[in-house]
């Protein structure tokens, strides 16, 4: 039985071209980019080349890119780095109730340190209302942090509108673009954004590598101390092969962005059409915004079946999907994202996230719909 991987929002397979770039560096280049001898200089050239490519693709300067250990570190560096640097101006931060835990848990820690955090509500589609953002801003507000596209519902937030509002009020704006990178066009110079987080393993790059865009001239404190790497903003020897792989992955997803969008949309459409045929449109509900969504993520509830049961049956059938919720002590928790959307209990307890990516085919969507039909009919007969 061939397995079908539909959990690309969690992690993606490395693109063969990315693996090739990384293998060459891992087998031929081992110098430290901070060393002054020829081996170090060669490593430095590799680093600088990767930084130039990433910054060009993001529409920013090379000095505005800090390489990190992933999306979580990028988010943490943004929140803690800015809050500690600007605490003399205020100690109020605005975020949303549907953020990734890398933001929510960081905000909880900031609250323990004496900061005030406002968690904006979302509507039933997962969207923030710009009026709520405006009402939440005070004279003490120093930072707004909002996710570009949600990792569970796929809902895209009104980033440009929020950014313009933040600028008009003199408030810094951070965007977690981990899921959005490679799925929507991103230009740091065109967006009213001060900081933006990215992760390699969501775009067919290696795990353990990410980046944080920091607008030129922005003052922030580092989270790691030691060496002078990344212009003193992130100490530690750089992950040379990982960074080179990240830059290659960015090249690939950026060059093929429109084709990817169209292809993921076709996969989504095929899956939904297959479900209508196999189980009937009354047997499932699509959660999230009807038009403002990431094309590779779709969250669907099947009210006849509990999430755990569906996950287990799909896994047995060779199909890997996710609930989109955290696993704690062996039991699934209800998604904080879907709860914030105020979905009814029967939808909360039957939600599944399907996320598409490299290697997925239209035929796999057909098979997935057929398997779901078989599973649901089996339960009905019981």
169-197 pLDDT, tens digit each: 999 999 999 999 999 999 999 999 999 99
Closest to 360 in 3D by CA, of 321, 325, 316: 321
Specify the 3-state DSSP secondary structure of 7: strand
Quick one: 208 and 328 in the same domain?
A: no
| Average pLDDT of the chain to the nearest whole number | 94
pLDDT digits (tens, 9 = 90+) for 81-133: 999 999 999 999 999 999 999 999 999 999 999 999 999 999 999 999 999 99
What is the rounded radius of gyration, in angstroms, for the C-alpha atoms of the chain?
21
Quick one: 374 and 302 in the same domain?
A: yes
Q: Which of 10-24, 222-236, 310-324 has the highest mean pLDDT?
A: 10-24
Quick one: 240 and 272 in the same domain?
A: no
Quick one: 377 and 312 in the same domain?
A: yes
Please tell me the least confidently modeled range out of 11-15, 28-32, 65-69, 355-359.
28-32
Q: What is the dihedral of CA 160, 140, 103, 198, to 10 degrees?
A: 40
Give yes or no: 327 in active site. yes
Quick one: 27 and 159 in the same domain?
A: yes
Quick one: 134 and 282 in the same domain?
A: no
pLDDT digits (tens, 9 = 90+) for 55-79: 999 999 999 999 999 999 999 999 9
Of 233, 255, 277, the domain-final residue: 255
Determine contact, residues 352/307, Cβ cutoff 8 Å: yes
Quick one: 124 and 230 in the same domain?
A: yes
Residue 2 confidence (pLDDT):
84
The total of structural domains in the chain comes to 2
Per-residue pLDDT at 326 exceeds 70: no
Residue 166 confidence (pLDDT):
98
Residue 309's CATH number: 3.90.1150.10
Quick one: 225 and 334 in the same domain?
A: no
Largest Cα separation within the chain, whole Å, is: 72
Per-residue pLDDT at 330 exceeds 80: no
Instruction: From the candidates 60, 107, 188, 327, give the one annotated as an active-site residue.
Output: 327
Quick one: 300 and 337 in the same domain?
A: yes
pLDDT digits (tens, 9 = 90+) for 216-236: 999 999 999 998 888 889 989
Give the domain extent around 73.
Answer: 16-255
């Amino acid at each position: 039985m061939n397995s079908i991987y539909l959990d690309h929002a969690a992690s993606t397979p490395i693109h063969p071209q990315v693996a090739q770039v990384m293998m060459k560096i891992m087998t031929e280049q081992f110098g430290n980019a901070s060393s002054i001898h020829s081996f170090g200089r060669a490593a430095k050239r590799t680093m600088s080349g990767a930084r130039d490519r990433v910054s060009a693709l993001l529409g920013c300067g090379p000095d505005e890119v800090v390489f990190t250990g992933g999306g979580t570190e990028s988010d943490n560096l943004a929140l803690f780095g800015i809050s500690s640097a600007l605490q003399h101006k205020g100690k109020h931060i605005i975020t949303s109730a549907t953020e990734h835990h890398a933001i929510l848990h960081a905000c909880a820690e900031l609250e323990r340190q004496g900061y005030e955090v406002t968690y904006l509500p979302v509507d039933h589609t997962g969207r923030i209302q710009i009026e709520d953002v405006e009402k939440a801003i005070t004279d003490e507000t120093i930072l707004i942090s909002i996710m570009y596209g949600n990792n569970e519902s796929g809902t895209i937030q009104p980033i440009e509108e929020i950014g313009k509002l933040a600028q008009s009020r003199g408030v810094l704006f951070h965007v977690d673009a981990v899921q959005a990178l490679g799925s929507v066009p991103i230009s740091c110079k065109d967006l009213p954004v001060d900081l933006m987080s990215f992760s390699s393993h969501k775009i067919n790059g290696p795990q353990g590598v990410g980046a944080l865009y920091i607008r030129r001239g922005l003052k922030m404190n580092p989270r790691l101390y030691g060496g002078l790497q990344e212009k003193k903003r992130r100490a530690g020897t750089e992950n040379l092969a990982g960074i080179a792989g990240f830059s290659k992955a960015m090249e690939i997803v950026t060059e093929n962005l429109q084709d990817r969008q169209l292809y993921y949309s076709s996969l989504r459409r095929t899956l939904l059409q297959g479900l209508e045929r196999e189980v009937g449109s009354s047997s499932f509900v699509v959660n999230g915004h009807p038009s403002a969504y990431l094309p590779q993520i779709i969250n669907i509830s099947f009210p006849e079946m509990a999430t755990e049961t569906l996950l287990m049956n799909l896994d047995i059938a060779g199909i890997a999907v996710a609930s989109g919720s955290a696993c704690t002590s062996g039991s699934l928790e209800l998604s904080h994202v879907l709860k914030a959307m105020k979905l009814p209990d029967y939808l909360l307890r039957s939600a599944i996230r399907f996320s598409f990516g490299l290697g997925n085919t239209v035929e796999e969507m057909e098979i997935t719909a057929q398997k779901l039909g078989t599973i649901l009919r089996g339960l009905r007969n019981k």
